[in-house]
Amino acid sequence: MFVKSVERFSQKEYLSLKMPTEEAPISDHRRIEMALNVLGYESVTVPLQVLRKLYPLCRKGNFDITVTLVHREFDWVVTDVEAGDTTAHHYGLAVDYGSTMIVMQLVDMNSGSVIGEERAVNGQVAYGTDILTRITYTRENSSHAIDLQKATADTFNRLLEQLTDSTGIDASQCSVMTVSGNTTMIHFLLGLDAWTVFASPYAPVTAAPGFFRGRELGIDFQGLLYIIPAASNYVGGDIVSGLLALELHKKEEIGLFFDIGTNGELVIGNKDWMIAGAGAAGPALEGYISKFGMRAAPGAIDKVQINGKDLTFTTIANQKPVGICGSGIIDLLAQMRLNGWIDIAGTLEPSASPRIIYLPEEKEYAAVYATETATGTPLYFSQTDIHQYLDTKAAACTMVECILETAGVTTDEVAHLYLSGAFPAHSDLESAITIGIFPDLPREKYRLLRNSSLEGAKCLLLDRSRLSEAKMLSENIYCVQFASFPDFLIRMQAAKFIPHTDLNRYPTVKAKLEG
């Protein structure tokens, strides 16, 4: 059933206008503008590409036309004019623009339902799996920024094609696209120098880029693209988008929002105040450490269980294992700790299992977790891998500790801890708490979110009034730098143990270890 989209980011209006005559030779442009004014649309802009469509389209259709408009902060922009009544066919796009994956949804602007969703590896990965490597690449040669911008646009175009193929709806003809991404990713999309994000005084070229035409960015998309604003260099539009979805700024209770992946961003607060911080969680949390670490893909070990000396696992798509992803690593470490394969410092205990072997070339021990593999090569997690992972998990743990201290809030005062990102969406919460990534809170306080960045982009797409909320959040969140804490490294050192040097912080884990 068709439902009029009263507050959508874009609107479609069917107009049945009088044909021009010698007595009333009013221009096509003005005729449309006057009709829209009657409907309450003020400050309407009609760009050249649309003006060029008016003749002969309007006359051939006897001026029975549908006008598509996109709401900007202070005006409406006409993105298309079609013959006849096409108001029942009205679509928009929401995008989570991540450093590793880009996810795009096709949304029915009339009903609010998601028609299709596609995802693809960000083409920028060819220039570095981590953001800093990509920034370094752009600084080697001025033309390299163009390479990253084109790789981004190409990925967007591929997703548009995939959505068109899977839904039968031409995604490139949508009226509006809301894009949620971190500050560095947005600089890459716009072809801006992202070094400003990382270099003192940490003032990016832009934190609120606003609206762009798809084609000016090399994206085969006829409508307007809106980029959700950032709060700071490290607290990007993806976090603002997540807050729009969670509505922490409208609640009495204190909430803690942790978006964790290659980087970790945290926001704590309620309707009266908000504090945010960010740090490098590290690619380890998504599987990118170890000789056999990989992203979540077919053949990746994603779950591990140990009972005494027996180890079992599952793989994505039930294929023979080719490596292990982030969720599998978390399970593996948690299970090894609970079964005595590693001690509190993460040191392997060779006597605990015949799977713990010595690697002569590496001169260290390793735990073999898969022998029958797709390549025929046994998969193992070495002592070095464990220590590298503990560095990463310690950073995540310490960021939570520091933001709580900055806010003057204890874990008991936090009503809910919201976890978002590919990492918490696919990992086992108990395993993550067991190794000390997250605090040992009552489990009912945790809320695991599939993709808060994408959800916020869709919320904005369907309710244009939330533009002001996005702006308010981006301008009023107090941001802290975790690296400025004088004892940050000392706190991290204490958090490098499993789950922590202070076991009393993890009573449920302590009970399991002593049970």
Which one of 191, 208, 227 terminates a domain? 227
User: Checking DSSP bridges between strand 76-83 and strand 364-370, what pairing results, if any?
Assistant: unpaired
Which of 338, 369, 388 finishes a domain?
A: 388
What is the pLDDT, as a whole number, of residue 184? 94
Give the containing element (helix H, strand E) for 420: strand 416-420
Question: Strand 64-71 to strand 10-16: parallel, antiparallel, or no bridges (unpaired)?
Answer: antiparallel
Whether residues 73 and 182 fall in one domain: no
CATH number at residue 180: 3.30.420.480
Judge if 119 and 211 occupy the same domain: yes
Do 95 and 79 lie in one domain? The reply is: no
The verdict on residue 403 lying in a domain is: no
Residue 31 burial (10 A CB sphere; 0-12, 13-18, 19+):
buried
Q: Would you state the pLDDT for residue 289?
A: 67
pLDDT at 280: 67
Find out whether 156 and 141 touch, Cβ atoms under 8 Å.
Answer: no
Residue 373 lies in a domain: yes
Report yes or no on 239 lying in a domain: no
**Residues 79, 104: one domain?**
no
Q: How many CB atoms lie within 10 A of CB 1?
A: 5
Q: Is 233 inside any structural domain?
A: no
Closest CA to 419 of 443, 444, 448: 448
Domain boundary among 180, 199, 227: 227
Q: Does one domain contain both 383 and 292?
A: yes
Give 432: exposed, middle or buried? Use CB within 10 Å, 0-12, 13-18, 19+.
Answer: buried
Indicate the number of domains in the chain: 3
Q: 172 in a domain, yes or no?
A: yes
Q: How far is Cα 131 from Cα 135, in angstroms, rounded to an integer? A: 6
107 and 35 in a common domain: no
Question: Do 24 and 125 belong to one domain?
Answer: no
Helix H or strand E encompassing 367:
strand 364-370
Determine the pLDDT at residue 288. 59
Q: CB-based burial of residue 334 (10 Å sphere; 0-12 exposed, 13-18 middle, 19+ buried)?
A: buried
Helix H segments across 319-465? 326-338, 383-407, 422-426, 429-434, 452-462
Per-residue pLDDT of the chain (515 residues; tens, 9 = 90+): 334 445 899 999 999 999 988 888 999 999 999 999 999 998 999 999 999 999 999 999 899 999 999 999 889 999 999 999 999 999 999 999 998 899 999 999 999 999 999 999 999 999 998 888 999 999 999 899 999 999 999 999 999 999 999 999 999 999 999 999 999 999 999 999 999 998 888 899 999 999 999 999 999 999 999 999 999 998 999 999 999 999 999 999 999 999 987 678 999 999 999 999 987 665 445 555 678 988 888 999 999 999 988 899 999 999 999 999 989 999 999 999 999 999 999 999 999 999 999 999 999 999 999 999 999 999 999 999 999 999 888 988 999 999 999 999 999 999 999 999 766 767 899 999 999 999 999 999 999 998 999 999 999 999 999 999 999 999 999 998 887 788 888 888 999 999 999 999 999 999 999 97
For residue 368, what are the domain limits?
Answer: 284-388
pTM (two decimals) = 0.90
Within this chain, do residues 121 and 52 fall inside the same structural domain, yes or no?
no
Judge if 77 and 134 occupy the same domain. no
Q: Is residue 511, in this structure, part of any structural domain at all? A: no
Per DSSP bridges, beta strands 91-97 and 310-315 are unpaired
What tokens were used for 77?
């922009």
* Shared-domain flag, residues 197 and 304: no
Provide the CB-side half-sphere exposure for 284 (13 A, CA).
22
Is residue 202 located within the same domain as residue 120? yes
Domain with residue 32: its CATH number is 3.10.20.880
Which residues share a beta bridge with 335? none
The reply to whether 257 falls in a domain is no
pLDDT score recorded for residue 2: 37
List phi, psi (to 5°) of 438.
-115, 155
186 lies in the same domain as 59:
no
Distance separating alpha carbons of residues 205 and 208, to the nearest angstrom: 9
